[in-house]
Amino acid sequence: MNLQQKYFIKAVLVILAISGSTCFGNSLTSPIDTAIYTLSIKKDMVNNAEKPVPAMTVNGTIPGPTLTFQEGGYAIIYVKNEMDVETSVHWHGILLPNFFDGVPYLTTPPILPGETQKYEFPLKQSGTYWYHSHTMLQEQSGVYGSIVIEPKEKKLEYDSDLVILLSDWTNQKAMNVLRNLKRGNEWYNIKKGTATPLNQVIARGGFGAQMNFWKQRMEGADIADIYYNAFLNNGLPITEYPDLKPGEKVRVRFINGSASSQYWLTFGVKDPLLVSADGLDVEPVIHNKTFIAIAETYDFIITIPESGKIEIRATAQDGSGQTSAYLGNGKILSAPDVPRPDKIGMMMQMAKMDMKMGAPAMKFNPSEEEPDEMEEKWGMHMEEKMNMDEMDHSEMEKLPKPKDHSQMEMNSNMEASMGKMPGMDMFAEYNYNYLKSPEKTSFPADEPVNEVLLNLTGNMWRYIWSMNGVPLAEADKIKIEGGKVTRITLNNLTMMHHPMHLHGHFFRVVNDQGEYSPLKHTVNIPPMQKITIEFEGTEEGDWFFHCHVLYHMMGGMARVFSYDTPRDPRLKEFPLKNLIKESDEYFTWGTANVATQMIGLNLMSSNIRNQFNFDLEYGFNQNFEAEVSYERYLYDYFRVFAGVNMENELAESLEEINTTAMVGFRFLTPYLFDLDVRLDSKLRPEFRISREIMIFPRTSIFANYEYQMDFGWIDSLAESRENSTYKGETTWSAGASYIFSRNFSIMGSYDNRFGAGGGLTIRF
């Protein structure tokens, strides 16, 4: 049966379903229970954090309305775009036809301004899910909402439902957030109080650990990237539900709809019963401290006490904020505090363990490699150091079953050792061993298996994220073979959690439960750990697989899983390259220095491989230099460049400007020195090196050294002389700056060309 025949049959079924609903309403004689919704997406001004800012709303609210369906029914959803930019909606976790999955240019056409798009699909499942835009960074701006699909048969006892949709909110434009991450500004960590300046590191005795991080081109242990003005549940920092009665059993459906924040859930009662993960039932287990990664959903049944109102608190992973919901009435039953992570302690412990961090270099003209080759080339860098052989999932079924699920348990020597170390809780407390499927999920032993290794990699210096060192814009599709099990080992070589989501599928998360390992659509991979997932190839078409930290996905941590079936003809006018282009956007930023002795300007525009620079320095003593250059990144830390340099030949005179072309390379060295080696059109070699270090909170020191060598080679050639006169010229500067906002710093410096002075640094 070809695609056209399938679409024809589907259209007939839809017409019959709608006809049945029209004739018989919701009566028992209706063949399909059809639910119809209309969602209108538009630009609005909202005030979620004490300041009105532009945002995007769904039906006038953030989050959008909860869509409620019945298992076995049929969903028809009209999405109307009332904005001047295109948009989309992805139905997260829903098993549906490929064409309605909602990833623009990959599975579904984008919704153009003024247009309405119809989504329709049968409801094969029940549970808690959500929807969100998959266009650029619109999810951060407010395009998201919840989905509840009621089961055909209620298997659990509870009296009422409550959806709690968690989210993070910034008053900045989302693209400005990503631009700030690309430029490497430390403002977000300063604002959150999570920066680790050198004075604090030294005071803790961690200078050696800091040197080890610098050697690996890392500033330090990282947890979360962005400063948020507010953390919200159901659109508010605090929500209250006083109508819930004592003794009432409430099914609380948690959804983490954040763009970039993960949370610890804690409860003001000791017996919250976890009953569902990612929409599917799990064996009920009391679990009073739960890590909910971005895009995950967890359902708990909570009994309202006879007296007092329960606090349910979601604490941001890096301790930078929280949001609370209160259930019931009376005296507050407070949720336990979650200690703030100790980033310096984490860094010191990792240095003691000699952990090899960071990503394999971004490759030039990359191609996919076989798993064995990747393992040999990049390796599981920690495995020998940290006894990670216990993570061999072929032995999972032989491991003892955990006895007490009320606390997260350790399943490897690595986790056990980390659990004893101050500051390492973010690693030690995290795994999925408490989740157990009520039914066997394992595949037949004789079913063929396709093994795939995906190293989760990234470059914080340029904020580019990747798999196996390759960002989405340069990656081939990963072929999925029908009739085979695809087993993927996700190995996190970075310092951040990565919640990985596969569209259109549920997969087994292989854990200590063996044959009863849970099924999920999103799995979180903690720093320096690996998790194995597996699924059967039963679909068709192309499906998106990506990190659900929105800014990581936009930075390139994504892939297309392809069943290598014909592309839907309805996508003919919407080429896939438009989706790929989103992760290879040019970002442009600038810095201006206005000081008593000089003014300076730096402009930069960069994507994954290419970068354009303009630098200008003018001293009030009439020293002048300007430079325009183009760089090409051959891999993460090494780029070649060419350009033009202009400077005055005579000090304190602008009458004679010397213009030279130059070529060279730039390299970010271990210990984070920026090295520039060049040769100009007068055959003069030059060496430049610079470095900046944060020594106190908000305070950094910086230095730059340049040495140009002139052997007189051009003069020798012109005058046919064998001998030439060597001259060398040294330029250097040093100073300090104090950051007092995202866009402004005060600075003081000395430059051997311009002299001493101070002034203002403006970032834009």
* Residue 745's CATH number: 2.40.160
Paired tokens of 571? 């996508």
Question: For the ranges 13-22, 59-68, 264-273, 439-448, which has the lowest average pLDDT?
Answer: 13-22
Return the pLDDT at 622: 85
Look at the pTM and tell me if it is higher than 0.95: no
What's the rounded Cα separation, in Å, for the pair 428 and 416? 7
Instruction: Indicate the residue among 311, 340, 369 that finishes a domain.
Output: 340
Give the chain's end-to-end CA distance (angstroms, integer): 57
Mean pLDDT on 303-330: 95
Quick one: 738 and 670 in the same domain? yes
448-472: b (≥16 Cβ within 10 Å) or e:
eebebbbbbbbbbbbbbbbbbbbbb
Q: Same domain, yes or no, for 46 and 98?
A: yes
Tell me: do 282 and 210 sit in the same domain.
Answer: no
Residues 674 and 655 in one domain: yes
CA–CA distance, 371 with 385 (Å, rounded to integer): 21
Tell me how far apart the alpha carbons of residues 66 and 79 are, in angstroms, rounded to a whole number. Answer: 14
Question: Which of 697, 692, 686, 680 has the alpha carbon at shortest distance from 733?
Answer: 692
What is the mean predicted confidence (pLDDT) over 702-730? 77
User: Which tens digits make up the pLDDT trace of 225-247?
Assistant: 999 999 999 999 999 999 999 99
- Please count the CA atoms within 13 angstroms of the CA of 547 that sit on its side-chain side: 33
From residue 161, how far is each of 28, 64, 254 by CA, in Å? 24, 18, 11
| Residue 591 covered by a domain | yes
Q: How many of the other CB atoms lie within 10 Å of CB of 438?
A: 13
User: Chain-wide mean pLDDT for the chain?
Assistant: 86
- Better-scored residue on pLDDT, 59 or 402: 59
| Residue count (the chain) | 764
- The residue among 582, 616, 643 that closes a domain is 582
- CATH code, domain carrying 415: 2.60.40.420
Paired residues of 633 in beta bridges: 639
Residue 473 lies in a domain: yes
User: Can you tell me which residue has the tokens 């947890």?
Assistant: 223
Shared-domain flag, residues 564 and 486: yes
572 shares a domain with 467: yes
**Mean pLDDT score, 92-113:** 97
698 pLDDT tier (thresholds 50, 70, 90):
very high
Q: Are residues 244 and 295 in the same domain?
A: yes
Question: pLDDT class for 718, splitting at 50, 70, 90?
Answer: low
Of 59-73, 269-283, 646-660, the poorest mean pLDDT is in 646-660
Higher local confidence (pLDDT), 184 or 104: 104
Q: Does the residue 128 lie in any domain?
A: yes
Give pLDDT tens digits for 431-452: 899 999 999 999 999 999 999 9
pLDDT above 80: residue 423: no
Does residue 26 lie in a domain region? Answer: no
C-alpha span between 584 and 607 (Å, rounded) = 6
Same domain, 206 and 239: no
Query: Are 398 and 454 part of one and the same domain?
Result: yes
Looking at this protein, which amino acid is placed at residue 688?
Answer: R
Domain boundary among 533, 558, 582: 582
Residues 284, 375 within the same domain = no
pLDDT for 353 = 66
- Are 618 and 749 in contact by the 8 Å Cβ rule? The answer is no
Q: What's the confidence (pLDDT) of residue 621?
A: 87
**Domain membership flag for residue 4:** no
In this predicted model, which residue has the larger pLDDT, 334 or 18?
Answer: 334
**For residue 280, what are the CA distances in angstroms to 175, 347, 512, 559?**
35, 37, 18, 25
Is residue 643 domain-resident?
A: yes
Residue 6 lies in a domain: no
Task: Say if residue 24's pLDDT is above 70.
Answer: no
**375 belongs to a structural domain:** yes
Answer whether residue 20 shows pLDDT above 90: no
Average pLDDT of span 237-258: 97
Can you give the pLDDT at residue 714?
74
Whether 388 has a pLDDT exceeding 70, the answer reads: no
Q: Do 246 and 387 belong to one domain?
A: no
Strand, helix or coil at 417?
helix
- The average pLDDT across 639-667 equals 87
Please give the share of the chain, as a percent, with pLDDT higher than 70.
Answer: 84
- Express each pLDDT in 325-371 by its tens digit: 999 999 999 999 999 999 999 888 877 765 555 445 555 443 444 44
State whether 388 and 480 are in the same domain: yes
Q: How far apart are CA 416 and CA 688, in angstroms?
A: 46
* pLDDT score of 29: 34
Tens digit of each residue's pLDDT (9 = 90 or more) over 116-155: 999 999 999 999 999 999 999 999 999 999 999 999 998 8
Mean pLDDT of 485-514: 96
DSSP assignment, residue 649?
S
Whether 132 contacts 97, CB under 8 Å: no
Question: Collapsing DSSP states into helix, strand and coil, what is residue 495?
Answer: coil
Q: What's the structural domain count of the chain?
A: 4
Q: Domain range for residue 756?
A: 587-763
One-letter-per-residue 3-state SS of 86-112: CECCEEECCCCCHHHCCCECCCECCEC
pLDDT confidence band for 715 (50 / 70 / 90): low
